[in-house]
Amino acid sequence: MQTFQVGVLGATGAVGQKFVRLLEDHPWFKISVLGASERSAGKKYEEAAHWIEPTEMPADTAKMEVAECEPEAFSGVDFVFSGLDSSVAEGIEKSFAEAGIPVISNAKNYRMHDQVPLLVPEVNPDHADLITKQTFTDDGSGWIVTNPNCVSVPLSMSLKPLHDAFEIDEVIVTSMQSTSGAGYPGVPSLDIVANVVPYIGGEEPKVQTESTKVLGSLWDDTIAFNDFTIQATAVRVPTIEGHLLSVSVQLKNAPSSIDEAKQAYTDWDNPIASLDLPSSPENPIKLYEKNRHPQPRLHADREGGMQTAVGRLREGTVMDLGYVTMAHNTIRGAAGGAILNGELLAAKGLIH
């Protein structure tokens, strides 16, 4: 694989830092430009970023000068990863796409756009082709790809084997979300130390819609959303990394036994396994058998934080099945997911 020069938009923020950390020794992608707000522009990265990662800031990146998030400053890059806040992502990402610089974004702004793939490589890799329909530029050189929000990633991934086997009808989910999901400074400690806050602004509408696009079908030049329904309650809990979801699911063709449901997970084949993508985990969707698993502390970092863990799969009394699922929200559910999207697009020859 060739080496790609990449830019990072929103590089000083929490997601941006995760991009910087995860790309430190990436075999294909090399950071050549870091973009942030006007306030940070012109400073060295180590001065501009309040570094909150538990590893040392990569020495090379530390000394790079931060640019403003304008296409002109990113002229040499093959594409950009965007960790921008949604309050500014819309305009900036569009300006990059229109300038012919592909954008692989973690922001929510274009997730529901008709021609923008909402991509989880193990679930809907074919959706990637949708980028050829985008019209940001005449020659198709600029496009936008997004990943789902940090809850919809494990939700859509954990539903996928069940959907393939039994078809999803209805889903009720309570997501217990970690503090890192709110960025930095994010959640005030007085709100969350030894506490649970039963509301996360703007979260539930995303959880209730995104998975139906991820599990939708590519028709011609758009995605036909899947027709199942999701009811979501999103709460904040005092964990650091790893969103844990309690899921109840009604199926169109219920399995005859819980073993058959488990079989759906063990039979599931990772459609991108043969691509050997650098960030692709060996077990993207792993079924745990112990009642107490998965947990944020024990499992969020498994396989580099790229695994979606499923556990407590059991028959339900109201709906067909109940289970819990968890994924590292800022890796699998954000920067790591976006990087895997980039790897998929590169492997498919869609990045030029």
Residues 205-224 touching its own copies, rule: CB under 8 A, are 208
DSSP class of 197: B
Using CB under 8 A as the binding rule, whether residue 189 contacts its own copies is answered as: yes
Which residues pair with residue 219 across a beta bridge? 222
- For its own copies, the closer of residues 255 and 311 by Cβ is 311
Using CB under 8 A as the binding rule, whether residue 238 contacts its own copies is answered as: yes
Q: How many CB atoms lie within 10 A of CB 25?
A: 9
- For its own copies, the closer of residues 122 and 241 by Cβ is 241
Q: Which of 139, 190, 349, 352 binds its own copies (CB under 8 A)?
A: 190
Using CB under 8 A as the binding rule, whether residue 297 contacts its own copies is answered as: yes
Is 107:89 a contact under the CB 8 Å cutoff? yes
Closest CA to 121 of 324, 347, 287: 347
- For its own copies, the closer of residues 187 and 264 by Cβ is 187
Which amino acid appears at position 138 of this protein? D
Coil/strand/helix, residue 173: strand
Q: What is the dihedral of CA 329, 78, 120, 303, to 10 degrees?
A: -50
Query: Nearest approach, Cβ of 93 to its own copies (angstroms)?
Result: 26
Using CB under 8 A as the binding rule, whether residue 54 contacts its own copies is answered as: yes
Say if strands 229-236 and 168-177 run parallel, antiparallel, or are unpaired.
parallel
Phi, psi for residue 56 in degrees, rounded to 5: -70, 145
Using CB under 8 A as the binding rule, whether residue 246 contacts its own copies is answered as: yes
| Interface map 153-182 toward its own copies (x if CB under 8 A) | -----------------xxx-x-x--xx-x
Q: Count residues contacting its own copies (CB under 8 A)?
A: 64
Contact segment (CB under 8 A) with its own copies among 73-81, 105-113, 241-249, 331-339 equals 241-249
Is 173:243 a contact under the CB 8 Å cutoff? no
Active site residues: 150, 243
Using CB under 8 A as the binding rule, whether residue 187 contacts its own copies is answered as: yes
Residues 300-339 touching its own copies, rule: CB under 8 A, are 300-302, 311-312, 316-319, 322, 324
Q: Which of 192, 272, 327, 338 binds its own copies (CB under 8 A)?
A: 192
Using CB under 8 A as the binding rule, whether residue 22 contacts its own copies is answered as: no
Is 183:13 a contact under the CB 8 Å cutoff? yes
Euclidean distance between CA atoms 138 and 134, whole angstroms: 9
Euclidean distance between CA atoms 20 and 60, whole angstroms: 10
Coil/strand/helix, residue 90: helix
Residues engaged in binding its own copies (CB under 8 A): 14, 52-56, 170-172, 174, 176, 179-180, 182, 184-199, 201, 208, 229-231, 233, 235, 237-240, 244, 246, 248, 291-302, 311-312, 316-319, 322, 324
